[in-house]
Chain A
């Protein structure tokens, strides 16, 4: 503070300036402390970031004394968490069976998005096998499958060139008979079908807590509380969430669900399987020049801009729904090792490749979003059932990685869950050891279905990328063992462990020079996040909770140069200088979050715990 005294004329300001100057001199002495002392002091003075009650319980918080915490409860037969393809397929199948057999069945579905489909994001090339089973007359009912695949193109990209790869019949990525869909629109249509059948859909309400009976079985879920201020204190409009009790609770939260994470620990569901491995998918939808539009064309590529040891690839699909729209994106495996890698910026620079850019020139971008997806396959599927509940869809993870399709298996898992649950819930002489029904028949049905056969055949393709030749080794393995031998080899390859543990320290890696966005084909992060339509009530505790507020600066920044500022596709995490000048702090812009779950997966310290924010918040995807 060095304003020359003579320039201040106002007497009040003069007094303030004097006071500030004295305060400044009083702070000279701390600089005499040894660096050791200062380091000890700095951990104590980490600014408070996390205020959520899952980290700071309300029972011990004086601000919550006397607040009414009683919850309203309601009973259903089946409660489904998550309104995606799996959850809705389960709901539809349950009601189909109930209506067929003229039995009463109350099915309630809660979904955190404000409307069904608003948090759905995928490529997507839908294999209609499960839909044909679930709703055979989908065409008459107006399902939005408008774009049959007409052309299938696969390439290996280098920085300037493209090597075409023939898609021989029998390879996993053959798309004949499949449809390019806007999955959000398909999910919305599924929601309409479910409502017609009598399913109670409650979008805008997030399941935030699993409820247990006294015997330890699952009793149901509770929806989120509303009206908690940013600092964790109750507001005037505070209201408790509601409890939904059920005989069986189906958890279909999608990839890396936060309640599933709790259930894995509680029931030890992962003791006999490998940890799940993931990728992040970033996607945009563009309105392109009509001359460039080739409806039904599917393009996939591997290689540039990712190096041979970073798993990933791109997609570009030409939709056929009246307007010249393309859906395109990049998938990056989250087992990457370089903390300087930014999946978002890789995606932006991929669009400039000479094979991709011409399609986009003259067009404009209308949507953006991102979501994590599973890559673990068969090896990472946990125990699927526990007393009172079970897991469906991408939550346990049934994605066929080389086919890049998981919707058809997710739907089938939902349907099998419905069938096995229905049999048990309506059986006359049901004898259950626990208050919540255990349905192990679901896991058995899944294991004897085509889902398991399909996942078994492709189980070694993803892990085969972990060799010195990376991508090329993997492609050779796929060619030999999948294409020729159909995945019948007797061994099962392992993954490398948790994605979070794959990062190398920043000092051992080279920063990547990314080109600046040009504003026509590539864009900056913040304008992209604005296009996702994401928003959250500002005055609520950040839902990206840290188990320990000091770990980001002391470990993530110190050792890995803060990879969260690069892997978050929404700019939630920023390291900013402390106001006092010395050192950095982590700033969490929770309102930007697009609910992709990448941070919870990739945080090298596994310190970030994503919990669900107030229902209705999050992205507002439209047909993504």
Chain B
């Protein structure tokens, strides 16, 4: 048992920033826009660090895929308590088409290389809202998955996960190694304080190429166009039911 946990962290546009579509409708403006760690990834890092503090695992490795700026996100994870980082360098066109399929292939390859016992990810990223990476990674590795986790505990070499589902809460017990995806109520992430940021500068971040991991980044998806949602039209107030029926008929709804 290596006692090693891999945590995936994604650099996304900060949730409070107003998004703007590029004039050529090819995507969203990201130049100079405030970015931060995906909120669900923060929860994932916190959970991994908590497990290490409880001495249930030995090492937390933070992983991020992207251009140079992804290193800032890894540093934040290191400041929260991760031991070392891995920056998988993906730039340019490859980065524009990077999606859950490619990232899960990368994470699966890294999990094998690093002999990880556990992969903790955020349940979804707030920019694409895919909610696929955790599940795909588990499938590629043929590992069990505990997704939408609101509570995680270790019982021997099994993992007990309480999952948030539509009907309420579901408790499952899965073997390790496993993939867990964090939901909102799993924990409250700690702050990355300045002394920890300074210490994090001394922690190692390894640079890795997807090609070295034998991963093919070709996308199966082509983005045709990105548009803003249609402007919400003002509603119309009617006085009587007859008016309502009349208006519905006028606009061809009935």
Chain A residues engaging chain B, CB cutoff 8 angstroms: 72, 74, 110, 114-115, 117-118, 184-185, 188, 202, 205, 223, 226-227, 236-237, 239, 241-242, 287, 323, 366, 530-531, 533-535, 620, 622-623
In the complex, which residues of chain A have a beta carbon less than 8 angstroms from the beta carbon of B198?
Answer: 74
Q: With the chains together, A227 CA to B32 CA distance in Å?
A: 28
Are B32 and A622 within 8 A (Cβ)?
Answer: yes
Q: With the chains together, A535 CA to B39 CA distance in Å?
A: 15
In the complex, which residues of chain A have a beta carbon less than 8 angstroms from the beta carbon of B169?
Answer: none
Does B206 lie at the interface of the complex (its beta carbon under 8 Å from any beta carbon of A)?
A: no
Which stretch (B16-24, B93-101, B114-122, B172-180) binds chain A? B16-24
Given contacts A366-B20, A530-B18, 8 further A-B contacts (CB under 8 A): A114-B14, A205-B194, A205-B197, A533-B14, A533-B34, A534-B16, A535-B16, A620-B33
Query: How distant is A620 from chain B, measured CB to nearest CB, in Å?
Result: 4
- A to B CB contacts below 8 Å, 16 in the list: A114-B36, A115-B34, A118-B34, A202-B197, A223-B194, A226-B193, A227-B191, A236-B188, A237-B189, A237-B190, A239-B193, A287-B23, A533-B18, A535-B14, A620-B16, A622-B32
Q: With the chains together, A604 CA to B36 CA distance in Å?
A: 39
Q: With the chains together, A366 CA to B23 CA distance in Å?
A: 12
Among A72, A202, A223, A534, residue most surrounded by chain B Cβ atoms (within 10 Å): A72
Are B32 and A72 within 8 A (Cβ)?
Answer: no
Q: With the chains together, A590 CA to B195 CA distance in Å?
A: 27
Which 5 A-B residue pairs are closest in the complex by CB-CB distance?
A535-B16, A620-B34, A226-B191, A72-B195, A242-B194
From B18, B33, B195, give the contact of A242 (CB < 8 A).
Answer: B195
Query: How distant is A368 from chain B, measured CB to nearest CB, in Å?
Result: 10
Instruction: Please give me the residue from chain B that is nearest to A114 by CB atom.
Output: B34
Instruction: Please give me the residue from chain A that is nearest to B17 by CB atom.
Output: A533
In the complex, which residues of chain A have a beta carbon less than 8 angstroms from the beta carbon of B194?
Answer: 110, 202, 205, 223, 241-242
In the complex, which residues of chain B have a beta carbon less than 8 angstroms from the beta carbon of A236?
Answer: 188
Q: With the chains together, A239 CA to B188 CA distance in Å?
A: 14
Given known A237-B190, A620-B14, contact A188–B195 (CB-CB < 8 A): no
From A74, A117, A239, A534, give the contact of B191 (CB < 8 A).
Answer: A239
Instruction: Please give me the residue from chain A that is nearest to B195 by CB atom.
Output: A72
Are B195 and A74 within 8 A (Cβ)?
Answer: yes
In the complex, which residues of chain B have a beta carbon less than 8 angstroms from the beta carbon of A533?
Answer: 14, 16-18, 34
Query: How distant is B196 from chain A, measured CB to nearest CB, in Å?
Result: 9
Q: Which B147-206 residues sit within 8 Å CB-CB of chain A?
A: 188-191, 193-195, 197-198
Query: How distant is B14 from chain A, measured CB to nearest CB, in Å?
Result: 6
Query: How distant is A192 from chain B, measured CB to nearest CB, in Å?
Result: 12
Q: With the chains together, A323 CA to B189 CA distance in Å?
A: 40
In the complex, which residues of chain A have a beta carbon less than 8 angstroms from the beta carbon of B33?
Answer: 620, 622
Are A531 and B188 within 8 A (Cβ)?
Answer: no
In the complex, which residues of chain B have a beta carbon less than 8 angstroms from the beta carbon of A241?
Answer: 193-194
From A188, A205, A287, A620, give the contact of B17 (CB < 8 A).
Answer: A620
Interface majority SS on B: helix, strand, loop or mixed? loop
Q: With the chains together, A118 CA to B16 CA distance in Å?
A: 13
Interface majority SS on A: helix, strand, loop or mixed? mixed
In the complex, which residues of chain A have a beta carbon less than 8 angstroms from the beta carbon of B189?
Answer: 237
Are B23 and A622 within 8 A (Cβ)?
Answer: no
Query: How distant is B229 from chain A, measured CB to nearest CB, in Å?
Result: 15
In the complex, which residues of chain B have a beta carbon less than 8 angstroms from the beta carbon of A531?
Answer: 18
In the complex, which residues of chain B have a beta carbon less than 8 angstroms from the beta carbon of A185?
Answer: 32
From A115, A188, A237, give the contact of B188 (CB < 8 A).
Answer: A237
Query: How distant is A290 from chain B, measured CB to nearest CB, in Å?
Result: 11
Q: With the chains together, A188 CA to B31 CA distance in Å?
A: 12
Contact string against A for B residues 7-43, beta-carbon threshold 8 Å, 1 for contact and 0 otherwise: 0000000111110100100000001111010000000
Are A242 and B34 within 8 A (Cβ)?
Answer: no
Q: With the chains together, A223 CA to B239 CA distance in Å?
A: 59
Query: How distant is A289 from chain B, measured CB to nearest CB, in Å?
Result: 12
In the complex, which residues of chain B have a beta carbon less than 8 angstroms from the beta carbon of A188?
Answer: 32
Q: With the chains together, A239 CA to B31 CA distance in Å?
A: 33
Q: With the chains together, A236 CA to B31 CA distance in Å?
A: 36
Q: With the chains together, A42 CA to B190 CA distance in Å?
A: 41
Query: How distant is B94 from chain A, measured CB to nearest CB, in Å?
Result: 24
Q: With the chains together, A376 CA to B114 CA distance in Å?
A: 62
In the complex, which residues of chain B have a beta carbon less than 8 angstroms from the beta carbon of A184?
Answer: 32
In the complex, which residues of chain B have a beta carbon less than 8 angstroms from the beta carbon of A620?
Answer: 14, 16-17, 33-34
In the complex, which residues of chain A have a beta carbon less than 8 angstroms from the beta carbon of B17?
Answer: 533, 620
In the complex, which residues of chain B have a beta carbon less than 8 angstroms from the beta carbon of A242?
Answer: 193-195
In the complex, which residues of chain B have a beta carbon less than 8 angstroms from the beta carbon of A74?
Answer: 195, 198
Q: With the chains together, A115 CA to B36 CA distance in Å?
A: 10
Q: With the chains together, A185 CA to B32 CA distance in Å?
A: 8
Q: With the chains together, A602 CA to B33 CA distance in Å?
A: 32
Q: With the chains together, A530 CA to B33 CA distance in Å?
A: 14
Q: With the chains together, A202 CA to B195 CA distance in Å?
A: 11
Instruction: Please give me the residue from chain A that is nearest to B193 by CB atom.
Output: A239
Q: With the chains together, A227 CA to B23 CA distance in Å?
A: 40
Query: How distant is B120 from chain A, measured CB to nearest CB, in Å?
Result: 19
Among A185, A530, A531, A620, residue most surrounded by chain B Cβ atoms (within 10 Å): A620
Among B20, B191, B197, residue most surrounded by chain A Cβ atoms (within 10 Å): B191
Query: How distant is A463 from chain B, measured CB to nearest CB, in Å?
Result: 39
Q: With the chains together, A205 CA to B76 CA distance in Å?
A: 13
In the complex, which residues of chain A have a beta carbon less than 8 angstroms from the beta carbon of B31?
Answer: 622
In the complex, which residues of chain B have a beta carbon less than 8 angstroms from the beta carbon of A72?
Answer: 195
Q: With the chains together, A72 CA to B191 CA distance in Å?
A: 15
In the complex, which residues of chain B have a beta carbon less than 8 angstroms from the beta carbon of A287?
Answer: 23
Q: With the chains together, A534 CA to B194 CA distance in Å?
A: 22
Q: With the chains together, A74 CA to B196 CA distance in Å?
A: 12
Instruction: Please give me the residue from chain A that is nearest to B30 by CB atom.
Output: A622
